[in-house]
Structure 1
Amino acid sequence: MAGLVPFNRRTPDILSDPFDDITNVLDDFFADVWPFRRSLVADTFKIDVLEDDKNYYIKAELPGVKKEEVNVTVDEGRIQISVNKEENVEEEGKNYIHRERRQTSMQRNIFLADAKDEGVVAKLENGILTVTVPKKEQTGKAVPIEIEG
């Protein structure tokens, strides 16, 4: 038991060696499951997609993100949720020797074949973005195809 190593135990930081990423690639390659597990280091925000008869409901976990930092677009059933967050705190009277900033840019794309482009509603509340996408009405008409030959 002492020889067991947790999956992707190395995390990138300022002092990390660029060859540490090779260890994560090897961990993914020799994992017991196929396809490979996604690396937790390069992961983006989590989403859930639910549906009922009339709508799709997309829920995205965006803790600490303001609505001004989120962009939601719909184009012919392609829903894109993107986040651009920049942390920059200005403090006067401080004598910094070293100071870092963080800028985060993430996006997720979802294709919903029978989604309408009109009537989409997005709401960000308590770190959860909920996007309600109406469905197109199903005609239910089968079109007969003539067979040649």
Structure 2
Amino acid sequence: MKGLTPFNRKSSLRKTGGFEDFYNMLDDFFTSPLSTGRSLMEESFKLDIKDKEDKYVVEADLPGVKKEEINLKLDDGRLTISIERKEEEEKKEKDYLHRERKYSSMSRSIYLGDVKDEDVSAKLDDGVLCIEIPKDEEKEKTKNIPIE
């Protein structure tokens, strides 16, 4: 049996031109194993969210990230974890100069609902960021309206 290949708009039975060739080029670019593009999963970080009785516990896997590179923000029940890294490297040897600069950033936001803004704690330990966010008292979701 021949190897299976993903479907794209190419067909050896017909000749195409114009936009059809453009679509084929896009299909090949995004499905080719040799493409240098990165997937979203590689550019993000993993999150675990635990719902405890009195708090939420959020754990983010951030190997190699320093706490100075992390920014945490809690805004109206929405937790945002942002990371910004800047790296510069310079090597000088006999006849050449090697210089590299890299900048990368990533961010994740999650909506937790009714949480308290105070008493939030965060700790980075062995590449795992653990954030504890206390829940606000449960507000009654339904309200009876008296009729006059």
Same fold per superposition (TM over 0.5): yes
Match of 1:42 in 2: 40
Matched, 1:113 2:113: yes
SS, match of residue 68 in structure 1: helix
Say if 1:76 and 1:116, in contact at 8 Å, map to a contact too.
no
Match of 2:17 in 1: none
Deviations for 1:62-103, whole angstroms, at most 9, x for unmatched residues? Answer: 111100000001111011000001121234446236x43321
- 1:17-28 aligned at under 5 Å gives the runs 22-23=27-28, 25=30
Matched, 1:104 2:99: no
SS, match of residue 53 in structure 1: coil
Counterpart Cα distance in 2 of 1:80 and 1:133: 13
Look up the equivalent residue of 2:39 and give its one-letter code.
V
Matched, 1:135 2:138: no
5+ residue gaps, structure 2, are 7-23
TM-score (structure 2 length as normaliser): 0.68
Deviations for 1:32-90, whole angstroms, at most 9, x for unmatched residues? Answer: xxxxxxx9612311111111101101111111110000000111101100000112123
Look up the equivalent residue of 2:134 and give its one-letter code.
P
Counterpart Cα distance in 2 of 1:26 and 1:139: 49
Matched, 1:126 2:136: no
TM-score (structure 1 length as normaliser): 0.68
Match of 2:16 in 1: none
More strand by share: 2
Deviations for 1:121-144, whole angstroms, at most 9, x for unmatched residues? Answer: 111111111111110011447420
**Count of residue correspondences:** 124
SS, match of residue 57 in structure 1: strand
Deviations for 1:9-30, whole angstroms, at most 9, x for unmatched residues? Answer: xxxxxxxxxx976446569xxx
Matched, 1:73 2:76: no
**What is the aligned-residue identity percentage?**
41
Matched, 1:56 2:56: yes
Counterpart Cα distance in 2 of 1:21 and 1:41: 16
SS, match of residue 65 in structure 1: coil
Matched, 1:82 2:82: yes
Counterpart Cα distance in 2 of 1:126 and 1:2: 47
Match of 1:30 in 2: none
Return the index of the structure with the highest Cα Rg.
2
